[in-house]
Amino acid sequence: MNVADFGERYRERIWESHFAEDFERDVVTGLSASNKSIPSKYLYDALGSTLFEAIVLLPEYDLPRRENALLERYVERIVGRSNGRLRLLELGSGSSQKTRTLIEAAIECHEAVEYTAIDIALEAVRAAAVQLLDRYPRVDVRAFVGDYFQVLGEIAPQPTTLALFLGSNLGNYPGERGVALLRALRGALAPSDTLLLGVDVRKDRALMERAYNDGIGVTAAFSKNVLARVNRDLGAEIDLENFAHLARFEEGTGSVESYLVADRAATYSLGGGRGTVRFAAGERIHIESSHKFTHEELQDLATASGFVERAYLPDEEAAFALVLWERGDDAAERNTPSLAHLE
C-alpha cells in the first residue's frame, strides 16, 4: 500500500462525518443529564492524542512500562504459534509504538504479516500508519478510523489472527459494555484465533490514583481538552478555567473515575442554538472510567464474552498483566494445547 491510496483505506470522509454527528448528540445529551458526562472516546482528538502520548512518559503512569516489559519477555512465544500468515488486529492502536515489539517478532516467524489498526483518533492513526509503512515494507498495513463497535461489524474473520487490546483500554469499558465489545471483537475472529489483553490489576488505592494525578498537570490538561473541543467544534462558550481535574478510585465500581469539577456556579452556551448548560458549584462531568481488574473478574469476563483463558501473565509486583484468550466456540472441549509454558 502506498501513501496515494492511504485516505481511501482510512475512509476518512465516512468516519469524520459520522463522528461529527455523534459528537454533537453525545455532548448535548451528556451535559443535559442530571449526572453530567462526556464519553471518554472524545478525549482523543489530535491534541488529546498528543497529550496522552505525553502521559505515558510520566513517572506516575507506569502502565506502559510494565506492559512493555511483559511484551518483551513473552512476545516470541505469543506470536510464534504458527509460521504461516498472521494478522495482528489492534483496537486502540494510537501511535502503535507498543505494538512494534509484536510486529517485529511476527516478521521473524511468519511468512506474511498483516497489521490492521482500529482507532478513533484520525490524526494519530494516520501518522502511525505512515511510519509503519516506511519502517516495515513487508507488512500489509490497514487501518480503520471509527467507533470500535461499528468498525468491528465490517471486519471479516481471517485465520490466523491475533487480536490486541493493550494499554488497559479494556478498563474504559466496564460491565456489560465491556462484554458487548468483546463479543463484537469475537465476531471478527475465526475459531482458534487469540486475543491478547493488557490489563491494569487492582492494587493499593494510592498507587492506582497516582497514575491519574501527575504532579505537572498533563493529565489535567488532557481531561480539560475535551471541553476545549466542545468549544471549538460546537461553538460553545465554556470557561475551562472554571473546571478542575479529579480522579479517584471508587470501591463500588472497581474503577478510577475521572471527572471535571466546576469550581463555581455558571451557565454556558452550547453554541449553534443548542441552548445552555448550567453548573452548580462542585458539580461534576464524568469523562472516563478506568477499571482495575482481578484475575477472577477477567475469567468471568472471558466466559461471558465467549473466550477461554489460555494464559495469565502478571508482572513481578502483580500490578499489571498480559492475558491471552482464545475464541471460545468448542475450545474448552477440544484438546487445545495449553499455553502454561508461557508462565
Residue 303 lies in domain: 1-223+294-343
- State yes or no: cis peptide before 194, omega within 30 of 0: no
Q: Say which amino acid occupies 23.
A: F
Percentage of residues in the chain with pLDDT exceeding 90? Answer: 68
Query: What is the CATH number for 87?
Result: 3.40.50.150
62 assigned to some structural domain: yes
In a domain? residue 279: no
Residue 122's pLDDT band (cuts 50, 70, 90): confident
Residue 20: the pLDDT is 60
Return d(Cα 136, Cα 25) in angstroms, integer: 40
Q: Is residue 231 part of a domain?
A: no
Residue 234 lies in a domain: no
* Structural domain includes residue 99: yes
Cα 15 to the chain's mean position, in Å? 18
Asked, for residue 236, whether it belongs to a domain, the answer is: no
pLDDT category at 330 given cuts 50, 70, 90 is: low
DSSP 8-state class, residue 40: G
Model confidence band, residue 145 (pLDDT cutoffs 50, 70, 90)? confident
> Does residue 95 carry a pLDDT above 80?
no
- In this prediction, residue 153 carries a pLDDT of 87
Q: Tell me, what's the pLDDT at 7?
A: 43
Q: What is the pLDDT of residue 21?
A: 65
CA angle 135, 125, 224 (to 5 degrees): 135
Q: Find the range with the poorest average confidence among 117-131, 148-162, 193-207.
A: 117-131
Cβ-proximal residues to 21 (8 Å cutoff; 6+ apart), any chain: none
Q: Please check the confidence at residue 339 and state whether its pLDDT lies above 50.
A: no
Mean pLDDT of 173-201: 94
- Give the per-residue pLDDT at 4: 30
Between 150-159, 200-209, 210-219, the lowest mean confidence (pLDDT) is in 150-159
Q: What pLDDT does residue 256 have?
A: 97
pLDDT band at 163; cut points 50, 70, 90: very high
> Residue 200's CB: how many other CB atoms inside 10 A?
23
Residue 227 has pLDDT above 90, yes or no: yes
Per-residue pLDDT reduced to its tens digit, 41-81: 899 888 998 999 899 999 999 999 999 999 999 998 898 76
Q: What angle do CA 279, 176, 144 make, to 5 degrees?
A: 85
Q: Please give the pLDDT value at position 268.
A: 98
Digit-coded pLDDT (tens) for 9-27 = 444 433 444 456 689 999 9
Number of structural domains the chain divides into: 1
- pTM to 2 decimals? 0.86
In this prediction, residue 318 has a pLDDT band, given cuts at 50, 70 and 90, of very high
Instruction: Look at residue 332 and tell me whether its pLDDT is greater than 70.
Output: no
The residues, ordered by sequence, that sit 6+ positions from 73 with a Cβ below 8 Å of its Cβ are: none
- Computed over every residue of the chain, the mean pLDDT equals 87
pLDDT value of position 336: 40
Task: Report if residue 74 sits inside a domain.
Answer: yes
- Asked if residue 193 has pLDDT above 60, the reply is yes
Q: What is the pLDDT of residue 81?
A: 60
Q: Is residue 238 part of a domain?
A: no
